[in-house]
Structure 1
């Protein structure tokens, strides 16, 4: 059998599972669960793994499930990851599989990701006697909220046996079904939440000279913070400083003695990340002091930047071109300033994260993620399954 025939055979197996996968995906879609609350989702995954005869572990990272396929022959270990949490959004679609849970919806495609991993598991498990190595199946909670990837890593999922390569995907409503998006190097930004508190002195509005006005102070701080990107960051680098919430004062005729501001910082380079945060702290403290008050900055460290390993991207590229044709593989030029906690897996092992086209204008699948009208063209499921299987086989090989 030629390599081309083998690739066709794997895709044919995925296509043959289409109805099974659609039923699974639509069930997940009707019963979405938020991060660390994926109990029903976990139960369904367990039930399906039991039906396949795939062993698994569940006593890790809240609702995570880690399946394990042991090949007949010794070799490397490859991990495949799917996030499985939903978003706190009302489902606005008029479809039979619309969410049955008010205020919760799979608006980012994690139901499709989980289904694709189950489909890949089914094919790989059926060919385990030919595998030279092992496959770990990471069903991850809380990608949208608490960073379930980091919790899974802390629980030891990358060890025993040690993971040699890891692959993940994300459906992309910007790309038509049948296309794959690849990014070498940096693909997603890091994020940090910041809370700025300014302290002054309250007094009657008729006697401003007797107080320290934190409203005025906040205005100066906000203006100064916007100079960080334009004057402290190399124009060839990327950084975003956003203040999305401000609160202060009690009455219109009283000088406010306290203002709180909450925002985010997003960067692509770790050195730029620390430099921006350092400048934020200095500006807040020094502007506040210059105006007779004081300030403090509380940083909550968010996701790290997602940086693909180029050799693994090349591997996915070769598989995707053979499976779909070179014209269907698109190289993404610019990284996204959105975040993705698959980044933590890539800090532990070589791997690649890529985009799976799911847009279909004829079917009305045209809406962006995190939108109440978001949906995926289910024809992307079989493509995702076949490509993930091929990614595993390129690392492990077969007898």
Structure 2
């Protein structure tokens, strides 16, 4: 393909990309509610000349560029915002109380939309196809899984899939990806403790559910420190304890909730098994009922070897090898692109967003996407499409 230089193209269109990003930032929508967002994306894609498919995963948007022959790569961006009250005081801050693009999905959509615009202006290849996949409900609601169950890869086959996330704390414009687990599995749990309540002045007449819950929360921390192989890793976090509504009453019920993280099926199985054993032990020790509801939600995000090397090659072509890492430690955070990587080979890469000073952390009310990486991210999508199609053709 003889194409316009992508980086030069996006630099010339930077103001337009920033405008798109800010408009998306002003109008955040939560999981499976991304109707305005889907309209925005579909309108832009149609104005570029694409036929647009809508509705996969409820509010997903898919467009295709290419000949329909030969290899196919899928490029994915997430769409949803978070239930956070923004505290940035930016001119383009969220106009919707309690909703905010605090993870950069506004930037992710903009970069992929820009790549789609770029390709729409290039000559179509004789063989090779690119899918632009805009996915809802990444933040805890497994929109990727929903799109797959709705027939994403049956209706829009892909030979490989690629994802990208901005990464505060990594040098601005640097890239990082690794073969194998890039991000952890994410499971959630709820533990309900029930028994005889009592007057707080006469605890011997009942069972103290709050005391039992405190012991339980402490004992759960022994799973990682004493049951997980030190060369493996896991996290068990109790994030909620609910019980009681009076100063002088021992409540008959207390609920604990939280999440676990791990990279391997062995660690996941062990964490769940040990949680069950600890719950049964506390139930016996305190003479109460303890019920564990453990739910496996997101699998680990596991990059395949060939596609990771393809991603790293694409990044090196843009910023040079000195700004691309294949050894940065994996994150215990989670990502539902993992569902797509269970179905197809692919790679999830981080694009450095620079300093975290001033609270510019993911999921922070002070976060704001770094507009300085918009053009680079868009150029990466073009490079990964070129490299990905080239790798698939060579393998064929």
Report the TM-score, using the length of structure 1 for normalisation: 0.91
The answer for the alignment partner of 1:42 in structure 2 is 38
- Report the 3-state secondary structure (helix = DSSP H, G, I; strand = E; otherwise coil) of the residue aligned with 1:75: coil
Instruction: Give, in whole Å, the separation in 2 of the partners of 1:340 and 1:116.
Output: 19
Structure 1 stretch 113-122 or stretch 258-267: which is displaced more? 258-267
Native 8 Å contact 1:84 1:140 kept in 2: yes
Residues 181 and 8 of structure 1: CA distance in aligned 2, closer, same or farther (over 3 Å):
farther
Could you tell me how far 1:213 is from its partner in structure 2? 2.8
Q: What is the aligned-residue RMSD (CA, Å)? A: 2.3
Residue of 67, 78, 89 corresponding to 1:71: 67
Distance in structure 1 (CA, Å) of the matches to 2:89 and 2:254: 44
**Runs (5+) with no aligned partner, structure 2:** none
Query: Counterparts in 2 of 1:296-311, with a 5 A limit?
Result: 296-311=291-306
Which of 374, 379, 391 is equivalent to 2:372?
379
Counterpart contact for 2:307–2:388, Cα < 8 Å = no
Per-residue Cα deviation, 1:20-63 (whole angstroms, up to 9, x for no partner) = 21111111111111111111111111111111111121122111
**Equivalent residues of 1:365, 1:376 under 8 A apart:** no
Question: Offset of 1:373 from its aligned partner?
Answer: 2.4
Q: Does 1:56 align with 2:52?
A: yes
Tell me the alpha carbon deviations over residues 139-189 of structure 1, each in whole angstroms, 9 at most, x when there is no partner.
111111311111011111112342111011011221233211222211111
**Distance across 2 between alignment mates of 1:36 and 1:160:** 20
Q: Deviations over 1:62-120 (max 9, x none)?
A: 11111122326x21111000001112223322433222222222111111100111111
Give yes or no for the alignment of 1:264 onto 2:259: yes
1:370 is matched with 363
Partner residue of 1:353 out of 348, 372, 376: 348
- Residue 149 of structure 1 pairs with residue 144 of structure 2: yes
Instruction: Tell me: CA distance 1:360–1:259, structure 2 relative to 1, closer, same or farther (3 Å).
Output: closer
**How far apart are 1:8 and its partner, in Å?**
8.3
DSSP-derived class of the 1:196 partner: strand
Q: Which residue of 2 aligns with 1:20?
A: 16
Would you say the 8 A contact 1:8–1:323 is kept in 2?
no
Distance in structure 1 (CA, Å) of the matches to 2:95 and 2:247:
45
Paired residue for 2:224? 229
Q: Distance in 1 between matches of 2:125 and 2:4?
A: 18
Aligned to 1:294: 289
The TM-score, its normalising length taken from structure 2, stands at 0.92
- Matching of residues 109-188 of structure 1 within 5 Å: 109-130=104-125, 132-188=127-183
Q: Any idea what SS the aligned residue of 2:82 has? A: coil
CA contact (8 A) 1:359 1:376 kept: no
Residue 201 of structure 1 deviates from its aligned partner by: 1.9
Quote the Cα distance in structure 2 between the aligned partners of 1:250 and 1:111: 40
Number of residue pairs matched by the alignment: 391
Give runs of aligned pairs for residues 201-280 of structure 1, distance below 5 A. Answer: 201-205=196-200, 207-249=202-244, 251-280=246-275
In the alignment, the residues of structure 1 paired with residue 353 and residue 333 of structure 2 have an alpha-carbon distance, to the nearest angstrom, of 19
Mapping of 1:93-112 within 5 angstroms?
93-112=88-107
2:26 matched to which residue of 1? Answer: 30
- 2: CA distance between counterparts of 1:26 and 1:149? 25
Please list the CA deviations of residues 305-327 of structure 1 after superposition, one character each: whole Å capped at 9, or x if unmatched: 11111211111111211221111
2:188 and 2:370 map into 1 onto residues whose CA distance is: 34
Alignment check: 8 A CA contact 1:360 1:366 kept: no
Q: 1:23–1:219: structure 2 CA closer, same or farther, 3 Å change rule?
A: closer
Please say which of residues 180-189 and 245-254 is displaced more in the overlay. Answer: 245-254
1:330 corresponding residue in structure 2: 325
> For residues 133 and 228 of structure 1, what CA distance do their matches in structure 2 show?
49
